[in-house]
Chain A
Amino acid sequence: MALKTVTATVECPECFGEVELKDVMQNEIVQCADCGADLEVVSIDPVVLELAPDEEEDWGE
């Protein structure tokens, strides 16, 4: 996987606030400083954020 990183300011898909990204990689998970939402960098060219995958609990093993 390419280790390309990007620095950018983009809109939070949850609260529409500004999220400052510094040296992030594709599929890295970041947090919105305004609303606290976990966000995934699903693309770095162009930079696109989506809500990060939910974390569920499961009783399996």
Chain B
Amino acid sequence: MSVRTVRTIWLRELRSYANSPNAWVIAAIFLGLSGLSFALSVTGRYPEATIRGFLFGPIGPIGAFFLTILLAPALTMRLLAEEQKLGTIELLLTAPVRDIEIVLGKYLAALSILSSMYALTLYFPLLLFAFGNPDVTPLLTGYLVLFLVGAVAVAVGLLGSALTANQIVAAITSLAILLVLWLFNATAALGSPDDAWTDVVTFLALSEHIRDMAFGVFDTRDIIYFLSLIVFFLFLTVRAVETRRWR
């Protein structure tokens, strides 16, 4: 694999994000709503010096995790769908470039944008330090798990974008996959507590692996879970790009 090719594609996509209003609007929505969540959680009747309000949201599910799941498909929908629509994929796939290099370049570009959005929220913990005495571990693991959820969401988003030339269809497809991943454990209620089904859906659900880390408990099994999901969806994306050649 050629790092240079990945870098070339990554840089092009970054510039493309910077030049289109899309990424800026998404960043504004994310920063606005997650900032509101944070503000509400630290000014409420029982203020706490944590970022849990920012991550999960004090009202409904509108915290950073859920916003990531809603907004990542909008961020990634263009990446491969537009190439198919414009036909530029024909030049990309006939250049001496591996399919995985294309996928990684685009993946890293979207992940870089998402990470920058997360980085811009780092003043929340700084405020906590300025006005209170927060626990450091949950801050670190909280941001780590947020980044991992973002990395999964972008991988799913890229897969959706590889499957179709229509950006809207791409966004809806990836949002559907992410919502299923997120809400999987709700189906556990259908079985009895020690059912095999309960175990499976509890293991697969995104939200099950978020909780511990968001509260400061670091578990390598959670890390492995997230990394496997990322690899799995990127692998599917590469396959989707490959089959694009047969269509």
Do A and B share a complex? no
Q: Which residues of A contact B (CB under 8 A)?
A: none
B residues at A contact (CB < 8 Å): none
